[in-house]
Structure 1
Amino acid sequence: MKKINLLNITTESINLNSKNIDLKSTFDILQTINNEDKLIALAVEKELDVIAKTVDEIYKRVSNNGKVFYIGAGSSGRIGVLDASEMLPTYGVGDMFYGIMAGGDIALRLPVEGAEDDEQLAINDLENCNINKNDVVFAIGASGRTPYCISALKYAKQKNALAISLSMTKDSEFKMHSDIAIEIDSGPEVVTGSTRMKSGTATKMVLNMISTTTMIKFNKVYDNLMVDVIATNIKLENRCINIIKSICKIEDENLIIETLKKANMQVKPAIIMILKDVDYIKAITLLNLNNNNLRTIIEN
């Protein structure tokens, strides 16, 4: 067994607030967890400047046909895959954000022994992605020392891609290999080392913020409505109808459904067709001429 020093990793230290948690009542255990979770949003807030820089750099590269590759192991990798997979149904984007998991898809459900320590595995995974200078390799790991992730960051540098990392450890090993390092001080876990807890919560918060803000900058949101949503189920079909009702200020659902069908179930063109009294082709033309900015079209 290879020995590593975990003493300087915050997530591996003892949380004094959860000492003797095994002696507590059900309610007191839950309250302890809840109290610790309350600290996470405040910890994330302290890194907003770095997170904002991250979004701006991602936007710059994706605007130039780049892609974002979340890469990680264990809980961190799973959260990255989750965030990337939500971009298509929520914003109609399937070619900007990708999730890469150490150990492959099977590791989403089952632990793959040794995957997070396999440096060559990260290289192999990224070689399949044809990384270039416009891309972003975004390594995620609570400890900030995962060999798989560090290898990915080094590979990104070799390909002149932007190397970004997210960890829960200040001055982590990730930082030494990153162009931008987001380091959230999430503190010790309630159950020592169980980084699926506070660290996982912080990771999901940060990735949600980054991907959502990027989509807003790409005109995927009007007001606070997801106007590029893809209606893949009944709930989302009804959401599309409600979005059109809200923006067009109409209640005629038959008209909305008829227009949506003519617009291939796309919300933006349907809104333009109703408000500007144009056909689908003209609506698409207007979107193309205005960088897909619905607000510009509506207000002019």
Structure 2
Amino acid sequence: MEIKNLTTEQRNPATMHIDSMSTIDMVKTINQEDQKVAVAVGTQDDKIARAIDEAAKRYSKGGRLIYIGAGTSGRLGVLDAAELVPTYGIKPERAIGLIAGGKGAMYVAVEGAEDSQDLAKRDLKDLKLNKNDIVLGLAASGRTPYVIGGLDYAKATGALTISIACVKDSKIGHHADIAIEAVVGPEAITGSTRMKAGTAQKMILNMISTGVMIKQGKVYENVMIDVKPTNSKLIDRACRIIHTTTGAASTQKAKDTLKEANNDVGLAIVMLKTNCSLNQAKSLLETKNGNVAEVLNK
């Protein structure tokens, strides 16, 4: 399909006169369009759930979450990868965002980079891609050559491939094991896929990466237990997490236990919930591969 015929490139009848609207009407109209995003994403629940399950299996074997895309899609992948590190305490090499044109393309467009399939293959080769890895290819239009090249190379390597697009029957979907296609409709501003399409991709990435982290035991109840308390805000959050999940523990007790556990929030929770010593709590966690929920929800 030609670019001009893609859903993402069509004019939106609801915003034909957005240039002459009052500011409040402009805001309301854009908000009305944004409300369609969650509905579109919801049509892909089954595929997103499958993506989480398959990705979690590979991640638990040492695989990496690797995002590839160009422009807004590429930037959203880099963002998701970067935020997993402080949120869930993973090593930076376990979540990697690749954007067509390299790191500089995060800030300034690199013309032509997205049109190269070979560039994506080289980028993935440099990472020594393996069969345990998960490659998420993002393209609102569903046709970016950089993403297609990356997905093809990943498939040949045996890695899990997931495509995320905002058009039906996307090209990238034909190159992936799991094709997620949230059709959000024409943008408020024609072709500005940083808007609804970008929001949809962000929502989908949030669900996939969060789901994978939950299945790694990095969430207990509904709190982040592998957050790394590296500054005063995060230390305060860690103490509140320990306090609220253990119930009886005072704020000071939570702080003292966190210090004893060498800033390991999950370990501190297990110590307090089971009345175990540091070494006993460590042993319990080792039997469950560090999964706090599995230790405590017996």
| CA apart distance, 1:237 | 1.1
Pair 1:6 & 2:17 matched:
no
Are positions 1:295 and 2:265 aligned together? Answer: no
* Partner-residue secondary structure (3-state), 1:7: helix
Q: Which amino acid aligns with 2:19?
A: D
Tell me the distance in 1 between the aligned counterparts of 2:245 and 2:174. Answer: 47
Match of 1:82 among 79, 82, 87: 79
Q: Does 1:33 align with 2:30?
A: yes
SS of aligned partner of 2:3: coil
Is residue 57 from structure 1 mapped to residue 57 from structure 2 by the alignment? no
Letter in 1 for 2:82: S
Extract unaligned runs of 5+ from structure 2.
Answer: none
Runs of 4+ with >6 A deviation? none
String of CA shifts for 1:80-132, please: whole Å, max 9, x gaps.
11111111111111243221111111111111111111222111110111111
Query: Structure 2 length as normaliser, TM-score?
Result: 0.95
Residues 135, 160 of structure 2: 8 Å contact kept: yes
**Please, which moves more after superposition, 243-252 or 187-196?**
243-252
Aligned to 1:86, the other structure's residue is in SS state: helix
Equivalent position of 1:252 in the other structure: 250
8 A Cα contact 2:217 2:291, kept in partner: yes
Superposed displacement of residue 210, structure 1: 0.6
Q: What is the aligned counterpart of 2:21 among 24, 43, 46? A: 24
Correspondence for 1:262? 260
Instruction: Please list every run of 5 or more consecutive structure 1 residues that lacks an aligned counterpart in the other structure.
Output: none
CA contact (8 A) 2:249 2:272 kept: no
Shift, 1:8, TM fit: 2.6
Instruction: Summarize deviations over 1:223-258 as a string: whole Å, max 9, x none.
Output: 111111111222221111111111111352222212
> How far, CA to CA, are the matches of 1:78 and 1:284 in structure 2?
38
CA RMSD of aligned residues (A): 1.5
Cα pair distance change 1:270/1:14, threshold 3 Å = same
Give distance in 2, aligned partners of 1:232 and 1:37: 35
Q: Is the 8 A contact 2:82 2:96 kept in 1?
A: yes
Q: What letter is aligned with 2:148?
A: I
Partner of 2:122: 124
Per-residue CA distance 1:205-231 (angstroms, 9 max, x = gap) = 000011111111111111111111111
